[in-house]
Structure 1
Amino acid sequence: MALMRMAVAAVVLLDLGIRSTDLEAHYTNLGVLPLHVLFERAWNPYEFSIHNMSGLWQVQALLFLAAAGFAVGLLLGWRTRLMTVLSWVMLVSLQNRNPMIAQGGDDLLRMLLFWGIFLPWGRVWSKDAEGQPAPASYTHFSAATVAYVVQIALVYVCTAFLKNAPEWTTEGTAIYYALSLDQVLMPGGRLLYPHFELMRWLTHLTYYTELLLPVLLFIPVGTAFFRTVFVVVLFSFHIGISLTLFVGLFFVINFASLMGLLPAPVLNWLERKLGPATQRCAGYLGGLRQRLPAWQLPLQVQATWRPRARKPGYALLPMLRETVLYVLVGYTIWWNLDGIIAPKYTMSEPLRWFGYQFRTDQHWGMFAPAVFKDDGWYIIEGNAANGRLYDLYRNGRPVSYEKPYSVMALHKNDRWRKYSENYLFVDNSWMRPYYCNYMLRLWHLNPRNPPLKRLDVVYMKEVSLPNYQVSEPKREVLCSCEY
């Protein structure tokens, strides 16, 4: 759990770093989603966001710095529970500020922090552990650990349940269609794409891995062995995804989520392998070695920690907390199974307020129920006063309708890729003029750029077809704005 704490904190810092490169574009009133548009079009009244206090980039920058500070505190294990709560609040606030760039990994990262509030993941390998004797046991069972394990299982089981299209269950063509999407195709995917039978076999393997592998988490015997198998298989699974599909931080977040499942024997083995190297590094830093034992996981228990005597009535508080957590576990399971189970068991809207308020709402519909077929690429076509056409999506190059070699490489990061995906949907047509005007404003900020009369957001739609057929790209103008 301590290893997971550090991994989650590192991912939060990485996420903040990537998001900060689009501070103005995604989180200010000068960007693609001003506050008044957010409240009018994409806001849930149950949600909260500290980032909504201002549309100025300076305020957003301060909030980013505060969130980074809390994440560093969590990484070091300094006042761990407080840092976990503050990191969770800032993450929820940030995600609520712009839901149009959210992806499935954000749900998982948010839930890891939520359950982490109740986990003892600051007990070892932390600043808080300095001066404390080693735990009597490195095995811990509570409602919080049940919630964490159930949460990991739900991620995979529910995405398998939602993948009910024939391309997943019978045809085995889902990976073929996924790799047909140039928007997310990575170099490893290009190597795999010509091998249809291998992709068909991998499709079935993916489906049944997600559906059946979580059973290993609940086998009451050989727990260390089965959980190690679970972690190794899913590490390999997500490495494969990261090499073939552009999924942003999704695979890194999943890596972090699996750290808490590593059993003590595995960590002891790692410590024996890495211990000498750690000691050599500590020797170079002079004096650090004296402080290191409080931060590392001892191989053997050196002391027994005895809690202070508590008043008889004090025991009711842990019991109440455990009861509440088990209720939350049931609520989370119900939320996930909603839409999968029979309609008569669907969660009613009045009961959903908690999920929206505390952002325990989640949906694991990755490439479900079927793989998206409307592939293509963008051209931001600026019509200049001199009659020339400039592509603002490619730094003002002359417009070309020829398909680029790598469509995925056109996206600055996965946040923009997700934004461009949401931009296509008819239900999100309200997004289009704000992006169009944002691109126009950026263009005219540079005095060397010729003035534009009109800007067209063009999508070159290329529908994915079976059997390696190639469709003719169709030019679709999603939005036009005059300057």
Structure 2
Amino acid sequence: MDSREQKNQTIWDKKLEELFGLDLRALAVFRIGLAIIIIADLIIRSKDIKALYSDLGVLPRTALIDQILNPWYWSVHLISGQPLVQTLLFLSAGLIAVALLVGYRTRLAAIASWALLISLQNRNQALLFAGDDMLRALMFWAMFLPLGACYSVDSALNSSTNPLPKRILSGATFALTLQVYYIYAFSALFKTTSEIWWPELNAVYYALHFDQYAASLGQFLLNFPVLLPISTFITLVLEWIGPLFLLVPFKTTFFRCATIITFILLHIGFGLTLHIGLFPALGIFTWLVFIPSDIWDALYKRIYTPERAGLRIYYDAECGFCKKVVHLIRTFAILPKTPLLLAQDDPSIFADMQAQNSWVVVDWQENRHFKWEALAYVISLSPVFGILASVMRWNPVMSVGTKFYQTIASNRRAAGKFTAPLKFRPLEVHSSGLMNVVTLLLFAYVTVWNLRGFVELTSSRGTLKSSFVKPAERIFKSKTLNSIDWISRLLRLDQSWSIFAPAPPRDDGWHVIVGKLKDGTEVDLLRDGGAVNWDKPTIRMRNSIYPNMQWRTYFINLNRAIGQKLYPYYGEYLCRDWNERHQGNKQVESFEVYFMSERTAPPGQTQGIEQKSSWQQSCYENSKKGK
């Protein structure tokens, strides 16, 4: 290969890395975002551990295994139906997510978080929404990425002298980039099979009319009908081609930043107009992973002020605990260029350290800071946490903080026991040939699955009339592909990006559950025993009836085909839950579930309401009746 060929090869390698590589700092932000979403999701779900994840709730394990669960789906949460065991599993998942958040043993934390996420989702599939599918897919690829290379405990305690690269190109970065495109592109592909999206452009109209997802701003926008088809068109175009602007080979930084900002605004719009759980926040965190290295470098250059450049931190060379702490402070305060020096190497500093029994922080004007006040000064220079410095310097906090520091300084050996699990380890970031092959093969499998899902769904619904559908369906039903179908189930790579696709749901309405008590009184079990009220609930009332995305999705599924499998166990839960909280004649004998159907009418037509009886059940006899 001559010099010109080598130069061209280098240019192509750099361009490929620019388009499909990811900055380590962006990967760290991505890690933090995923961890925040997982923790928030666990907190939201933890309020309903008994109702949604135990044998005393809406779906006992026997019912799940016998009637719903795919044989290849697995769940650690199936080891017990007791609320206490489920609580312990939630706490374990939360602690591991915290480890992922701070980047402690990051690879292991990512793998464990993914496994427990799969386990939790498989425990009750009637609760799953598009945001759950997206989180599951992102966490899968996250396991193969160097998420702990920046802003982490792992990076703070990196003992390797080899410098880390700014960016990495690997099979996993390639897969994650195209996975994000698949989320939007396959959603758009499903949508274009419906005339509601194109050419009618009425999808946003129907989405904002669906009261289960209704938000105040979304309903307000219904007063501006001219905006709705425009919004539909923009959403469809963005999902089709928007992510491809990440891969524009010229002015890449400009196009990438414009794409990131556009999709962040799109997800903010979703969050303001629809109640769809953590999906908007997850989308925002996802797009941050594509922030280019040029932007990170510019930010670092801008924040590297003389005050930060002149900062020096001295610690006791004989204190292993002190060494770990100063490395952690430098990393999480985001002051990566701050030198960490041994106090014993400077006689004057060493004398001050002994006199004050404290670390020594020297500012850019050579002033020396000690104890808690030194920590407050370091934090004041942090580009992220600087706002906390004024709180740390508040006299009551300063007094308590100084006493706390003195206690730690006088008991460093005891304090060292808390940091003992934190070890200095070498951290290497490189692209592994074997892992690249594995991730690319898995991504090829994901691609086939997405195409297969599209063909099967459109074929079953008859939403796409094309000559390629039948031949493609025969290929995807071949013995070869069916023989490896178990991989998608085992790893939960069975993806379907059909949010509001092929069309937004139109089977709108609300539930009324009329319970008959032993004393003959009729109450609404869904409204905590209030008087039976058939009126349409306000958004505030609906948020009380369906308090989170899990309950919203569950009640939507009660109206789907799976509802006939869910209703008997939901009925048992209703009876048990009510009667545990009431005694004597106030216990419920039977109930009937009504769905006040308000199917969304096309634009310009009048909405109608129809009362439908969906289910009847006795609380004391084996009497269950669907409608």
On whether the aligned pair clears a TM of 0.5, the verdict is: yes
Farther-moved stretch of structure 1 (260-269 vs 196-205): 260-269
- Matched with 1:232 is 261
Q: Is residue 581 of structure 2 the alignment partner of residue 446 of structure 1?
A: yes
Q: Which moved more, 1:380-389 or 1:168-177?
A: 380-389
Deviation, 1:217, is: 2.2
Report what 1:312 is aligned to. none
Separation (CA, whole Å) in 1 of partners of 2:506 and 2:332: 50
Q: Could you tell me how far apart the structure 1 residues matched to 2:86 and 2:508 are?
A: 34
Change (3 A) 1:242 1:299: same
Residues 24-76 of structure 1, C-alpha deviations (whole Å, 9 max, x = no match) = 11111110000000001111111211000000011111111111111111111
Q: Output the amino acid matched with 1:215.
A: L
User: Cα RMSD (Å) of the superposition?
Assistant: 2.7
Question: Distance in 1 between the 2:563 and 2:504 partners?
Answer: 19
Given candidates 168, 184, 187, the residue that maps to 1:156 is: 184
What secondary structure, in the 3-state scheme, does the structure 2 residue paired with 1:476 have? Answer: strand
Deviations 1:446-467 (A, max 9, x none): 2368122311111111111012
Q: Distance in 2 between matches of 1:292 and 1:120?
A: 21
User: Residue 429 in 1 paired to residue 543 in 2?
Assistant: no
The counterpart of 2:168, out of the listed 140, 156, 160, is 140
Larger relative contact order (Cα-Cα within 8 Å, sequence gap ≥ 6): 1
Q: Partner residue of 1:182?
A: 211
Q: How much does 1:254 deviate?
A: 1.2
2:100 is matched with 74
Shift of 1:268: 4.1
Q: 1:136 to 1:472 in 2, by over 3 A?
A: closer
User: Structure 1's 420 and 137: CA in aligned 2 closer, same or farther, altered over 3 A?
Assistant: same
Alignment of 1:73-222 (within 5 A): 73-132=99-158, 135-163=163-191, 164-222=193-251
Structure-1 residue corresponding to 2:68? 42
Which protein shows a greater Rg?
Answer: 2
**Amino acid in the other structure paired with 2:451:** L
Cα 1:339–1:86 shift into 2, 3 Å: closer
Task: After TM superposition, give the deviation of residue 481 of structure 1 in Å.
Answer: 1.1
Which residue number corresponds to residue 347 of structure 2?
A: none
Q: Which moved more, 1:18-27 or 1:330-339?
A: 330-339
Rounded to whole Å, the distance in 1 between the matches of 2:181 and 2:338 is 31
Q: Distance in 2 between matches of 1:17 and 1:375?
A: 28
Residues 372 and 131 of structure 1: CA distance in aligned 2, closer, same or farther (over 3 Å): closer
For residues 475 and 248 of structure 2, the distance between their equivalents in structure 1, rounded to whole angstroms, comes to 28
CA contact (8 A) 2:149 2:427 kept: no
Provide the TM-score with structure 1 as the length reference.
0.91
Q: Which residue of 2 aligns with 1:343?
A: 473
Within 2, Cα distance between the matches of 1:308 and 1:130? 10
The secondary structure found in structure 1 opposite 2:573 is helix
For structure 1, the residue ranges without an aligned partner over 5 or more in a row are 310-314
Question: Which residue of structure 2 aligns with residue 323 of structure 1?
Answer: 437
Q: Is the 8 A contact 2:30 2:288 kept in 1?
A: yes
Identical-residue share of aligned pairs (%): 33
- Would you say the 8 A contact 2:330–2:336 is kept in 1? no
- 2:330 corresponds to: 293
C-alpha separation in 1, matches of 2:154 and 2:427: 17
Deviations 1:176-225 (A, max 9, x none): 11111111110111110111110011001100110010211222233322
Q: Once the 2 structures are TM-superposed, how far is the Cα of residue 469 of structure 1 from its aligned partner? A: 2.9
Alignment CA distance shift 1:389-1:8 (3 Å): same
Q: Matched residue of 1:374: which SS?
A: coil
2-structure distance, mates of 1:62, 1:247: 27
Q: How many residues align?
A: 468
Distance 1:271 1:414 in 2: 39
Tell whether the 8 Å contact from 1:134 to 1:301 is kept in structure 2 after alignment: no
Letter in 2 for 1:431: L
Show the 5 A alignment for 1:56-67: 56-67=82-93
- The aligned amino acid for 1:447 is H
Can you list the C-alpha shifts for 1:83-118, whole angstroms capped at 9, x where unaligned?
A: 111111111111110100011111111122211111
What letter matches 2:552 in structure 1?
R
**Counterpart secondary structure, 1:340:** helix
| Residue 293 (structure 2) aligns with | 264
Could you tell me how far apart the structure 2 residues matched to 1:66 and 1:404 are? 38
Q: 1:384 aligned to 2:412?
A: no
Instruction: Please tell me whether the aligned partners of residues 453 and 496 of structure 2 are also in contact (alpha carbons under 8 angstroms).
Output: no
The normalised TM-score by structure 2 is 0.70
Deviation at 1:267?
A: 3.2
Tell me, in whole angstroms, the C-alpha distance in 2 between the residues paired with 1:42 and 1:416: 18
CA distance in structure 2 between the partners assigned to 1:91 and 1:290 by the alignment: 32
- Quote the Cα distance in structure 1 between the aligned partners of 2:441 and 2:553: 34
Closer/same/farther in 2, CA of residues 465 and 127 from structure 1, 3 Å limit: same
- Deviations for 1:239-279, whole angstroms, at most 9, x for unmatched residues? 11111111011111112222211122333455567788x98
Cα 1:134–1:182 shift into 2, 3 Å? farther
Alignment-mate amino acid for residue 173 of structure 2: T
d(CA) in 2 for partners of 1:181 and 1:408? Answer: 12
What is the CA–CA distance in structure 2 between the aligned matches of 1:9 and 1:458, rounded to whole Å? 39
Distance across 2 between alignment mates of 1:222 and 1:426: 50
Give the partner amino acid of 1:343: E
CA distance in 2, matches of 1:252, 1:67: 20
Distance 1:134 1:297 in 2: 20
- What's the offset of the Cα at 1:358? 0.7
Does structure 2 retain, via aligned residues, the 8 Å contact 1:84–1:116? yes
| Letter of the 1:360 counterpart | L
Structure 1 residues 460 and 147: alpha-carbon distance in aligned structure 2, compared to 1, 3 A threshold:
same
CA shift for structure 1 position 9: 0.7
Task: State the match for 1:19 in structure 2.
Answer: 45
**1:299 positional shift:** 7.7
Write the distance in 1 (CA, Å) between the matches of 2:519 and 2:211: 33
Mapping for residues 449-464 of structure 1, pairs under 5 Å: 450-464=586-600
* Inter-CA distance 446–229: structure 2 relative to 1 (3 Å threshold): same
Is contact 1:338-1:346 (8 Å) kept? yes
Question: Residues 296 and 361 (structure 1 numbering): CA distance in 2 closer, same or farther, change over 3 Å?
Answer: farther
Distance 1:384 1:394 in 2: 15
Query: Residue 609 of structure 2 aligns with which residue?
Result: 473
Change (3 A) 1:274 1:155: farther
Point out where structure 2 has 5 or more consecutive residues left out of the alignment: 1-26, 316-321, 340-425, 456-471, 620-627
Q: Is the 8 A contact 1:268 1:299 kept in 2?
A: no
Q: Is residue 97–residue 109 contact of structure 2 (8 Å, CA) maintained in 1?
A: yes
**Once structures 1 and 2 are overlaid, which stretch shifts more, 157-166 or 292-301?**
292-301
TM-superposed deviation, 1:296: 6.2
Give the aligned partner of residue 55 of structure 2.
29
